[in-house]
Amino acid sequence: MNDIILLNRYKLLWKERNEKVIVAEIRHYLQNEYGGTLETPIGMLVCYKENNPLFWNIKINLRSDIRYSQTQKHVWVMNESAFKFKWRFFIERLNDIIKPRFQPVKALDEAIKQHLITNNWISEPFAVSRSIEKTEDFHFFGDISTMN
C-alpha cells in the first residue's frame, strides 16, 4: 500500500485496506526546496461497507485544533499550551468562531472521493461526511510489543 499525495498538500498514510474497510491517516504535507518534508497529522479517513442497505460510508474526521491557510500554505496547531496567557487562547478560539481565518480545503473531500473511485476501491452508492473532532481524553491500556 503506497502512500499518496493529494492536491500537492495532503498525504494519505494507509493503515488498512480491504474489500470492506479502508482506513488512512490524513496529513498536511509540505515539501521544501531541498527535498525535505514536514508532515502534520490532521485527521483520519475511514471507509466501510454498510450491509443493509448496501453502500459505502466515507467519513473524513479532521482535528479541531488545526488551522489552515490556503493562501500562505501554512498549518497552525491551536492548543492551549501554546499560549502564555490562557485568556489569549480563548479569545483566539472565539475569534475563529465569529470569523474563521483558516479552514480545510473543500477540494480535499472531492480528491479523496475521486481517488477511491478511480482505483476501484469503492463503488456507488456511497455517502461522504466530514466532521471536525476534538479529543477530550486519551488513555492507552496494555503493553506494546515490538515485532522484529
Please provide the DSSP assignment of 66-77 as one string: EEEETTTTEEEE
- Higher-confidence residue: 110 or 63? 110
Q: Is residue 145 part of a domain?
A: no
HSE on the CB side for 45, CA within 13 Å?
Answer: 24
Greatest mean pLDDT among 52-56, 85-89, 132-136: 52-56
Domain count across the chain: 1
Q: What is the pLDDT of residues 4-24, one digit of tens each?
A: 888 888 899 999 988 889 999
Report which of residues 127 and 70 the model is more confident about.
127
pLDDT at 50 over 80: yes
Contacts of 113 (CB under 8 A, 6+ apart): 58, 126, 128
Q: Residue 123 falls within a domain, yes or no?
A: yes
The answer to whether residue 110 sits within a structural domain is: yes
Tell me: cis bond preceding 100? Omega within 30 of 0 counts. no
Residue 108 lies in a domain: yes
pLDDT tens track for 76-108: 555 555 556 666 666 766 776 666 555 556 788
Show the cell assigned to 118: 478511480
Structural domain contains residue 144: no
Domain hosting residue 26, numbered range: 4-133
- Specify whether the CB–CB gap between 26 and 32 falls below 8 A: no
User: pLDDT confidence of 52, banded at 50, 70, 90?
Assistant: confident
Is 77 within the bounds of a domain? yes
Grid cell locating 11 = 498525504
User: Torsion-angle region of residue 78: left (phi > 0), alpha (psi -120 to 50) or beta?
Assistant: beta
Say whether pLDDT at 47 is over 90: yes
In a domain, 143, yes or no: no
Sign of the alpha-carbon torsion through 42, 113, 122, 59: positive
Residue 78, pLDDT score: 54
Structural domain includes residue 50: yes
pLDDT at position 49 over 80: yes
- What does the pLDDT read at residue 13? 92
